[in-house]
Amino acid sequence: MNDADLSVNELIEPVNRYFHNSIAGQIVNILKNTWVTPDQVTYISIFIGLISAYIFSLGTPWSFFLAGIVLELVLILDCVDGQLARVKKCASDLGRLLDGIAGYIIYLAVLGGIMIGLDKYYIALILFGAVTILRGIAYDYCKLTFITIIQKGYDGSDKEILDTYLKISKKTSILLKVYFNYLQVQRFIFNGYFNSFDSFSTIVNDKLDSFSTIVNDGLDNGLILSFKKRKEYREKVSSLMVTWSWNGVDSAMFLLVLISVFGVIEDYLLPLAIFIASQFIFTMIFHRVKIYKINKIK
Same domain, 199 and 86: no
Q: What's the pLDDT band for 5 if we cut at 50, 70, 90?
A: low
Say if residues 70 and 55 touch (Cβ distance below 8 Å): yes
Q: What's the pLDDT band for 212 if we cut at 50, 70, 90?
A: low
For 265-290, write each residue's pLDDT tens digit: 999 999 999 999 999 999 999 999 99
Same domain, 40 and 149: yes
Same domain, 22 and 122: yes
Same domain, 86 and 176: no
* Position 6 in a domain: no
* Position 5 in a domain: no
Same domain, 16 and 100: yes
For 19-34, write each residue's pLDDT tens digit: 999 999 999 999 999 9
Q: In whole angstroms, how far apart are CA 281 and each of 58, 76, 132, 247?
A: 33, 27, 12, 10
Same domain, 233 and 220: no
* Position 242 in a domain: yes
* Position 4 in a domain: no
H helices within the chain, ranges in order? 14-15, 21-31, 38-57, 61-87, 93-118, 122-152, 157-170, 174-191, 197-201, 204-217, 227-245, 249-261, 265-297
Say if residues 253 and 75 touch (Cβ distance below 8 Å): yes
Separation between Cα atoms, residue 38 and residue 16, nearest integer Å = 18
Same domain, 262 and 159: no
Same domain, 145 and 53: yes
* Position 103 in a domain: yes
For 215-259, write each residue's pLDDT tens digit: 555 544 456 888 999 999 999 999 999 999 999 999 999 999 999
Same domain, 129 and 231: yes
Cα three-residue angle 283-246-107, rounded to 5 degrees: 105
> What domain count does the chain have?
2
Residue 209 has pLDDT above 50, yes or no: yes
Same domain, 38 and 169: no
Last residue of a domain, one of 224, 247, 274: 224
Q: Whole-angstrom distance between the N-terminal and C-terminal Cα of the chain?
A: 23
Residue 175 has pLDDT above 60, yes or no: yes
* Position 2 in a domain: no
What's 242's domain CATH number?
1.20.120.1760
Separation between Cα atoms, residue 221 and residue 204, nearest integer Å = 22
Instruction: Give buried/exposed letters for 115-138 (b at 16+ CB in 10 A, else e).
Output: bebbeebeebbebbbebbbbbbbb
Same domain, 245 and 201: no
* Position 49 in a domain: yes
For 101-152, write each residue's pLDDT tens digit: 899 999 999 999 999 999 999 999 999 999 999 999 999 999 999 999 999 9
Q: What's the pLDDT band for 1 if we cut at 50, 70, 90?
A: very low
Separation between Cα atoms, residue 13 and residue 241, nearest integer Å = 10
Last residue of a domain, one of 189, 208, 224: 224
- Considering only residues 94 and 138, tell me which one the structure prediction assigns the higher pLDDT: 138
Chain centroid to CA 115: 24
Last residue of a domain, one of 202, 224, 246: 224
Q: In whole angstroms, how far apart are CA 8 and each of 149, 150, 198, 212, 223?
A: 11, 8, 35, 26, 21
* Position 187 in a domain: yes
Same domain, 274 and 133: yes
Range of the domain at 212: 154-224
